[in-house]
Amino acid sequence: MKYSEFPYERVEVETQKELMAGWLSRFESAESANEQISVLKEVDESNREYSSYQAIASLNFNRNINDEAAKAEKDYYDKIGPEIQEIHNKLDLAVDSSKFKNEIREMWGNTFLKMIEMDLKTFDPKIMDMLRKETELRNQYTQLIGGAKIEFDGKTYNLAGLGPFLSDADRDIRKRACQARFGWFEKNAEQFDELYHTLVKLRHKIATTLGYENFIELGYLRMNRSDYGPNEVANFRKQIVEHVVPIVTKLREQKKDILGLDHLYFYDGINFKDGDPKPKGTPDELVKGAQKMYHELSNETGEFFDIMVNEDLMDLVNRDGKMAGGFCTAFPKYDRPYIFSNFNGTDHDITVLTHEAGHAFQCYSSRNQPLTSYLWPTMESAEIHSMSMEFFTWPWMETFFKEETERFKYKHIAGSLSFLPYGACVDHFQHWVYENPEATPADRKAKWLEFEAIYLPDRDYDDIEFLISGGVWQGQLHIYQMPFYYIDYTLAQTCAFQFWIKSEENREKAWEDYYRLCQAGGSLPFTGLVELAGLKLPFDDGCLESVVEKVKTWLDEVDVSSL
């Protein structure tokens, strides 16, 4: 089937309640582990159906936020989410107290039971109305961002459409595009401030209602982080400040020479004087190039990408009414993932295609995992697949960039390393926000600037007032949508660099380790998956330092004057 042919329907809450009553009765009266396991398998099949329909509803809205019918379906699933959670909460309680837990553990491993344990710590029927409100507020942010209309040089653009001007070779165009982008944010500043202020207060109230001191512990549980906490993350951020920030500062000095500039401003986001590398070809040609690439990379990726193309499981090009950004979703009922992005003629088109294809390939590779909850790992693990795929596809970058291939590789490595301090800054900021829920919007912006001075010490916003006031983070959707989902990228980048190093040494062995990781899905927590892939744990002292040293050596060997 093509995506447009996938059956879709609304899952009725009352039907789910009736089904759960039957499952619960059978589970609690079961006289053997096999009987309980049989019930859990039936529930899992139902979960596959629910999550598939919910994903279709959400995707269709993202594809066209102006489609009222699509919005109605997404709103429906958003509304029933807490009720479905309440229905499953009863079974989770029964599983958690089952006398056959050891047998269940033998069947599916400890991760299944650990996830249920964490779910029970994140939900109580008394927070249902607050969860609905949180979803409404998140949706307001989505619609605000997706509906952006920005005037620039006589035309109207959405946020993705404005993107190419931000990396134009002409510095004046870059600055004016930056002013236009953040001028739009400034125009809507009151709405962004109020939205986030309300979200923070609400999340704090949800946390205290559940018995937590603040939202941080609850936020980690929501991210299913069972094997590390804020202390490990703080230590990792500290290593970024010590080992990465100095190198990134030197890269920026080098960038001044490359661009022929005496000083770098925030809008000098390009890497080369005549502009950043651009993919050569139409979107259709790029997809054909990717299809050939994935056939040559491995049999598994060739099969996977043919399915993505032949079954219309990708929506790649930017257009009016389409939600900004890129993501991968999936429909477990049909064993299929889906890639969503916004091609806009920049090198990001190729990076996002390989990145989201990494997510999609992992999901496709883990389709035979026995439980729906094992199809995806936790976020920091999932980002390993996507970021590593960006590097595994390096040998084929000439297909897309031709004579600009070496430029692209330099930009990719330098950019990936330079991202780490920003990712740590976003994470540190969020920890402070939820430790200080009474802070005002002005307090948050001031604190953001304090963290910037630590992680991004040479950032200069010129005379763009909204940025000078500390508002740049309001364009980072994760901060609004998924609290604490950002350090994940830096942890995963550290792992992806390891895969890059391994593939330079022994490509076949590196791919074997990567494919094994993809097949494991979410059957293990982050630390277990890192070990399974033969990687060093990013939290461990010395890991980041050794990885960064290898990256630095590669960068030092590049003759930037020849790029």
What is the rounded average pLDDT of the residues 326-340?
97
For 505, residues 6+ apart whose C-beta sits below 8 A from its C-beta are none
CA torsion, ordered 312, 321, 200, 456, to nearest 10 deg: 80
Answer for the pair 165, 115: CB distance below 8 angstroms, yes or no: no
339: confidence class by pLDDT, cuts 50, 70, 90: very high
User: Considering only CA atoms, which of 441, 436, 413, 399 is closest in space to residue 501?
Assistant: 413
240: confidence class by pLDDT, cuts 50, 70, 90: very high
pLDDT value at 373 more than 90: yes
User: Considering only CA atoms, which of 500, 521, 522, 520 is closest in space to residue 511?
Assistant: 500
Angstrom distance (rounded) from CA 134 to CA 140: 10
pLDDT value at 109 more than 90: yes
Residue with tokens 């005037």: 151
Angstrom distance (rounded) from CA 17 to CA 151: 50
Answer for the pair 544, 243: CB distance below 8 angstroms, yes or no: yes
For 154, residues 6+ apart whose C-beta sits below 8 A from its C-beta are none
3-state secondary structure 47-78: HHHHHHHHHHHHHHHHHCCCCHHHHHHHHHHH
pLDDT for 135-164, tens place per residue?
Answer: 999 989 988 988 899 999 999 999 988 988
Supply angle C-alpha 546, 548, 553, rounded to 5.
Answer: 100
pLDDT for 162-213, tens place per residue?
Answer: 988 998 999 999 999 999 999 999 999 999 999 999 999 999 999 999 999 9
DSSP helix/strand/coil, 126 = helix
pLDDT for 563: 86
> Which residues are bridge partners to 330 per DSSP?
337
Q: Where are the alpha helices (DSSP H) in 366-506?
A: 379-392, 397-401, 405-435, 441-455, 465-468, 477-481, 487-505
pLDDT for 247: 96
Answer for the pair 209, 128: CB distance below 8 angstroms, yes or no: no
pLDDT for 146: 85
User: Considering only CA atoms, which of 82, 59, 72, 91 is closest in space to residue 10?
Assistant: 72
State which H helix or E strand residue 353 sits in: helix 348-365
pLDDT for 561: 85
pLDDT for 115: 96
pLDDT value at 323 more than 90: no
pLDDT for 274: 87
pLDDT for 284: 96
pLDDT for 160: 84
Angstrom distance (rounded) from CA 493 to CA 261: 29
User: Considering only CA atoms, which of 145, 252, 261 is closest in space to residue 195?
Assistant: 145
Supply angle C-alpha 27, 32, 34, rounded to 5.
Answer: 80
25: confidence class by pLDDT, cuts 50, 70, 90: very high
Radius of gyration of the chain (CA): 24
Answer for the pair 332, 52: CB distance below 8 angstroms, yes or no: yes
Q: What are phi and psi of 330, to 5 degrees?
A: -155, 160
Query: How many C-beta neighbours within 10 Å does residue 176 have?
Result: 17
For 169, residues 6+ apart whose C-beta sits below 8 A from its C-beta are 270, 273, 274, 275
What is the rounded average pLDDT of the residues 375-386?
96
Kindly give the pairing relationship between strand 327-331 and strand 155-157.
unpaired
Question: Mind giving me the DSSP string for 481-549?
Answer: HSTT-SHHHHHHHHHHHHHHHHHHH-HHHHHHHHHHHHHHTTSS-HHHHHHHTT---TTSTTHHHHHHH
pTM (two decimals): 0.92
Asked whether the CA dihedral 524, 508, 335, 484 is positive or negative, the reply is positive
DSSP helix/strand/coil, 369 = coil
pLDDT for 344: 87
C-alpha distance across the termini of the chain, in Å:
45
Supply angle C-alpha 72, 75, 79, rounded to 5.
Answer: 140
Angstrom distance (rounded) from CA 218 to CA 166: 37
pLDDT for 509-535, tens place per residue?
Answer: 999 999 999 999 999 999 999 999 999
Angstrom distance (rounded) from CA 261 to CA 273: 9
Computed over every residue of the chain, the mean pLDDT equals 96
Angstrom distance (rounded) from CA 131 to CA 120: 15
DSSP state, 394? Answer: G
